Amino acid sequence: MTAVIFRLVTRRCWSDIVAQKYANPSSLLITKISKSFYRGDRCFTTSTEATVGTNRFKNILVEARSDRVGLITLNRPKQLNAINEETQQEVLQALEEFDRDRSIGAIVLAGSDRAFAAGADIKEMANRNFVQARKVEQGGWIDKVSAIKKPIVAAVNGYALGGGCELAMACDIVLAGQGAFFGQPEVQIGTIPGWGGTQRLIRAVGKAKAMEMILTGRRMSAEEAERSGLVARVLPAETLLQEAIEVAKTIASYSDTVVAMAKECVNVADNVPLNQGLAYERRLFHSTFNLNDQKEGMKAFIDKRPAKWSYD
């Protein structure tokens, strides 16, 4: 571990932070930093200890925090975080690694102040034909995102359009900064949503709004998204990331097994009739009584003390 005293810096001054010279700021991987967030091109953090190494990823930043929260930040600022194939693979790899990591209980997925993700990388896909699109299974990666067992909190500032909106909808909780916009504008470039937009958006906001947004490309403000059920809460843009981390931290403070079961039940409700969903919920509810964490949680409640979860 390297003791580091952090201060207000620009992204151009990473070498000042660690008193070492790096050719590329993205070569840094900083883990277990508490209360760090970005405003524009500025990094604000508190003093702490950090492990500094080489970032294995080109298009994302990854942080495994000491509070059991994994943070993934899309990092293609010149492209407004447009999601190319390489970014898809990196996001999936980071998510799957956090999903396997017993020290992580919940995950935050964020972008920049300007854009969570402005969509798929149009330049990469523009000249593909039908066979090529099928071969790379465009859009199939998003199903793997939604299959991650640990809860994912999306922190959406700026644009979440096309694939960016679809990525946010594949997460479990969406928090939006004031000034964020959501949309599925694919019709404007001669195609349709292909990463779940026509299916997940209607479940979030209803057929009327989903149909209008998809057929016209109209953008939905953060406030309208909250009223419509697409977003859990709207927060000041400058505190959005920290609040998303706090939400994930709260989730991660509970039993991993029970949280995963609760997430599974809610997701099942989206896909089955009510009677089947109720039966599924009841079976999982009954099964919790075979967990050590259920015994510990209820005993702790009776004893009026914090529970000590097994995190297994």
Residue 2 has what pLDDT? Answer: 37
Interatomic CA distance for residues 124 and 76, integer angstroms: 14
Residue 34 has pLDDT above 70, yes or no: no
Q: pLDDT tens digits, residue range 168-211? A: 999 999 999 999 999 999 999 999 999 999 999 999 999 999 99
Residue 309 has what pLDDT? Answer: 93
Q: Catalytic pick from 120, 204, 210, 222? A: 120
Q: Domain 256-303 class? A: mainly alpha
Residue 233: strand pairing partners: 175
Q: Catalytic pick from 163, 164, 177, 196? A: 163
Residue 124 has pLDDT above 50, yes or no: yes
Q: Catalytic pick from 82, 117, 166, 204? A: 166
CB atoms within 10 A of CB 15: 14
Q: pLDDT tens digits, residue range 58-71? A: 999 999 999 999 99
Is residue 137 among the annotated active site residues? no
Interatomic CA distance for residues 31 and 64, integer angstroms: 5
Residue 208 has what pLDDT? Answer: 97
Q: pLDDT tens digits, residue range 231-284? A: 999 999 999 999 999 999 999 999 999 999 999 999 999 889 999 999 999 999
| SS3 readout for 4-49 | ECCCCEEHHHHHHHHCCCCCCHHHEEEECCCCCEEECCEEECCCEE
pLDDT mean across residues, the chain: 85
Nearest CA to 48 among 66, 64, 27, 60?
A: 66
What superfamily in CATH does domain 59-252 come from?
Answer: 2-enoyl-CoA Hydratase; Chain A, domain 1 (3.90.226.10)
Residue 9 has what pLDDT? Answer: 36
Is residue 120 among the annotated active site residues? yes
* pTM: predicted TM-score of the whole model, two decimal places: 0.81
* Domain regions of the chain by residue span: 1-55, 59-252, 256-303
Q: pLDDT tens digits, residue range 76-115? A: 999 999 999 999 999 999 999 999 999 999 999 999 999 9
